[in-house]
Amino acid sequence: MTDTAADAPAALHFGFFALDVLRTRRLGRSFLRVTFGGESLADFRSGGFDQSLSLFLPPPGQEHTVLPSTDEDDWFAAWRGMPDGERPVMRSYTVREQRRTAEGVDELDIDFVLHGDSGPASRWAGRAVTGRRIMAIGPVVAQNKSVRFQPPAGSDAVWMYADETALPAAAAILERLPAGTRVRAWFEVPHQDDRLALSTPADAEITWMVREGDGRDRTEQVLNALRAAGPLAGQAPYVWLAGEAGTVRAARRHFVQERSVDRRSVRFTGYWRLGASEEQLLAEAYAGQAPSEDPASEL
Ligand SMILES: Cc1cc2nc3c(=O)[nH]c(=O)nc-3n(C[C@H](O)[C@H](O)[C@H](O)COP(=O)(O)OP(=O)(O)OC[C@H]3O[C@@H](n4cnc5c(N)ncnc54)[C@H](O)[C@@H]3O)c2cc1C
């Protein structure tokens, strides 16, 4: 589903990293921050904003991720060829922050949404303890194609929608925007205490939408909130949308059809899809059946 996942075999901008869990911290009812360390992080080059990476998580019963090969030419075939039940699962996540501490230790934060044990990544995160090792494919150059947030020159406002899975990316984007950038944002989270503190030098107006339910009417709620906002400041907005795929598509239609935004200025990404695991989404991508993220694609 992600560029890193689907195109990784050919990607020169990415490399393998061994990530060791240093600590975990609960940020809200749905969010767990896992801070990773590891010597290989010295070569990790996050481009910031919504930089994503692919994690390989160990199958149940194994403490650490072991890949048969990390060679750029044959890792993919070797990984795919592993027997079911032994193959680490690959999942897309966001680099919430990369830093080097005052003591010179390289650290990486990833904020996991805990959505229960039905997903291997959520299950793994909920049980993560210090010392566990996973593997990742991440950037070795800061300018890489897994940074999707790329406002065109001349944009005069940023309009954003994110659900909880994209809130880490939205938070990182907000931190990086130039001072005074006009931002209008809608963030959808499951619970009140998932409204994480955000900091930004931008001139941002944020609307929080709290579901507090099973989320069946999530798309309708989001569209209602977008429509209720009335006219938005900005003649040449850049629109960034990420979250559940169906809701993201509906939000894109809203901005293109109801607010007449040039579709080339809308970056939209389905971070997950209700009822489908990432394997299923990847299988669709390999079969060429995945809904397009191309800004020019039909609605
Ligand atoms: C570029 C990119 C960046 C991402 N960044 C983050 C991030 O920083 N933090 C983060 O938490 N997620 C992030 N995601 C989303 C994450 O990859 C998916 O939620 C993924 O499906 C989780 O894997 P899993 O193994 O837990 O569930 P899967 O095995 O993939 O899915 C199992 C079931 O759970 C459902 N499901 C998946 N995710 C959720 C959810 N959040 N809530 C409710 N049901 C769900 C699926 O529909 C499916 O029915 C990102 C995705 C992309 C493409």
182-201 pLDDT, tens digit per residue, is 999 999 999 999 999 999 99
157-180 pLDDT, tens digit per residue, is 999 999 999 999 999 999 999 999
Residues 135 and 241 reside in one and the same domain: no
Q: Mean pLDDT lowest for which of 9-23, 91-105, 207-221?
A: 9-23
Helix (H) or strand (E) holding 14: strand 14-26
- Asked if residue 162 is part of any domain, the answer here is yes
Residue 274 alpha carbon to ligand 1 centre in Å: 9
Annotate 252-266 with b (16+ C-beta within 10 A) or e (fewer). Answer: bebbbeeeebebebb
Residue 298 has pLDDT above 70, yes or no: no
Q: What is residue 139's three-state secondary structure?
A: strand
Q: What is the mean pLDDT of residues 146-162?
A: 97
- Asked if residue 152 is part of any domain, the answer here is no
Q: What is the mean pLDDT of residues 63-84?
A: 94
- Asked if residue 10 is part of any domain, the answer here is yes
Residues 10 and 52 reside in one and the same domain: yes
Q: Identify the pLDDT of residue 3.
A: 41
Q: Mean pLDDT lowest for which of 42-46, 93-97, 269-273, 289-293?
A: 289-293
Pocket-testing residue among 95, 188, 272, 282, ligand 1, by greatest number of atoms within 8 A of Cβ: 272
Instruction: Tally the domains of the chain.
Output: 2
Using CA positions, which residue lies closest to atom 30 of ligand 1?
277
Q: What is the CATH number of the domain that holds 88?
A: 2.40.30.10
Q: What is the CATH number of the domain that holds 235?
A: 3.40.50.80
Q: How many CB atoms lie within 10 A of CB 276?
A: 14
Residues 103 and 51 reside in one and the same domain: yes
Q: Identify the pLDDT of residue 4.
A: 40
* Distance of alpha carbon 207 from alpha carbon 198, whole angstroms: 12
- Asked if residue 47 is part of any domain, the answer here is yes
Residues 201 and 100 reside in one and the same domain: no
Q: What is the mean pLDDT of the chain?
A: 93
Which residues have any ligand 1 atom within 6 Å of their CB? 1-2, 52, 91-94, 111-113, 115, 118-122, 165, 168, 269, 271-278
Residues 113 and 39 reside in one and the same domain: yes
Residue 121 alpha carbon to ligand 1 centre in Å: 8
Annotate 10-27 with b (16+ C-beta within 10 A) or e (fewer). Answer: ebebbbbbbbbbbebeeb
Residue 2 has pLDDT above 70, yes or no: no
At 71, list the tokens: 């060679």
Using CA positions, which residue lies closest to atom 38 of ligand 1?
272
- Asked if residue 209 is part of any domain, the answer here is yes
Q: What is the pTM of this model?
A: 0.94
Residues 48 and 95 reside in one and the same domain: yes
- Asked if residue 114 is part of any domain, the answer here is yes
Residues 132 and 162 reside in one and the same domain: no
- Asked if residue 19 is part of any domain, the answer here is yes
Task: Give the structural domain span for 261.
Answer: 157-286
Do 122 and 114 meet the contact criterion of CB atoms below 8 Å apart?
yes
Residues 49 and 128 reside in one and the same domain: yes
Residues 218 and 98 reside in one and the same domain: no
Residues 12 and 52 reside in one and the same domain: yes
Final residue of a structural domain among 112, 139, 166? 139
Residues 189 and 106 reside in one and the same domain: no
- Asked if residue 293 is part of any domain, the answer here is no
Residues 8 and 133 reside in one and the same domain: yes
Using CA positions, which residue lies closest to atom 22 of ligand 1?
121
8-66 pLDDT, tens digit per residue, is 444 579 999 999 999 999 999 999 999 999 999 999 999 999 999 999 999 988 999 99
* Distance of alpha carbon 140 from alpha carbon 258, whole angstroms: 40
Residue 262 alpha carbon to ligand 1 centre in Å: 29
